[in-house]
Structure 1
Amino acid sequence: MKAKSETAPGAGTARDEPWIFRTYSGHSTAAKSNELYKTNLAKGQTGLSIAFDLPTQTGYDSDHELARGEVVIAV
């Protein structure tokens, strides 16, 4: 019997699964973003990482005064 340190790393774990290929992306409008995501998936991308505007990412309502000038700017 092999010692634990001698066994293959990740054997029998999620490391044996194929990688998920994704890009962090978004576009100027929801329709353009949807088109971009569908194109990327058709080309073999296997996951989505959607870029939201900064206020949305930090939990602000897009109508909040602190979000003024930041809505639609993806980081």
Structure 2
Amino acid sequence: MRRHGAATPGEGAAAERQRPQSLTRVFAELESDGLIARTADGADRRQSVLTFTAEGLRALERDLAERDA
């Protein structure tokens, strides 16, 4: 999601070389914390699309900066 923008949970998991089931709880916690937003896919309303919120992007930038330091 960071590199390619909005993604389905399956696409996000594939990008991280994980199975979607492995990240279900992680995605739910990120959404609960307001770091990602989940919306219905316009093409397939059964599917959801995840995007970073402004707060989520700031948290990601801070984390990456700390790792680089």
Q: Tell me whether the two structures share a fold, i.e. TM-score over 0.5.
A: no
Higher helix residue share: 2
Bigger radius of gyration: 1
TM-score, scaled relative to structure 1: 0.26
TM-score, scaled relative to structure 2: 0.28
Higher strand residue share: 2
